[in-house]
Homo-oligomer: A and B are copies of this chain.
Amino acid sequence: MRIGELSARTGASRRSLRYYEQQGLLVSARSPSGQRCYDDDHVQRVALVQSFLAAGMSSRTIAQMVPCMTEPNMDRAREALTAMNQERNRLSSTIDSLAAARTALDHLINVNRKFLANVAED
């Protein structure tokens, strides 16, 4: 498939897909005329990249792990594992922060609910 179809299937813009490739997150075969050619596997790959980007990973970090996403690579597996574990920790503590923020928000929501209820009573 060409870039338009991959874009349609993944929801990533053509622009983003080219950017992913430029950053080494995605590899494409090229037609004789230079157009990018993808196969079905790339759909999942893009989904994974999107998931990681949405999680706040930088493309540099993802690029470090990507070589091991397709076929584990002995040379890079160790450093990739290090990066992955580091990111896993970062993710976990981010999740904790968000949960804390949500708790604080819940508190604010309750205070305001009660306030509105009191006003209604008067």
Contact = CB atoms under 8 A, between A and B. Distances in A.
Contact of A97 (B55, B65, B68): B55
A113 B81 contact: yes
Overall SS of chain A's interface: helix
A106 B91 CA distance: 11
Q: How many copies does the complex hold?
A: 2
Contacts of A95: 95, 98-99, 102
Given A74-B116, A78-B116, 15 more contacts: A51-B100, A52-B101, A55-B102, A56-B98, A57-B101, A68-B108, A69-B108, A74-B115, A77-B112, A77-B116, A80-B112, A87-B105, A88-B109, A95-B98, A95-B102
Interface of A: 48, 51-52, 54-57, 65, 68-69, 72, 74, 77-78, 80-81, 84-85, 87-88, 91-92, 94-95, 97-102, 104-106, 108-109, 111-113, 115-116, 119
Rank and list the top 3 A-B pairs by shortest CB-CB distance, nearest first: A72-B115, A55-B101, A51-B101
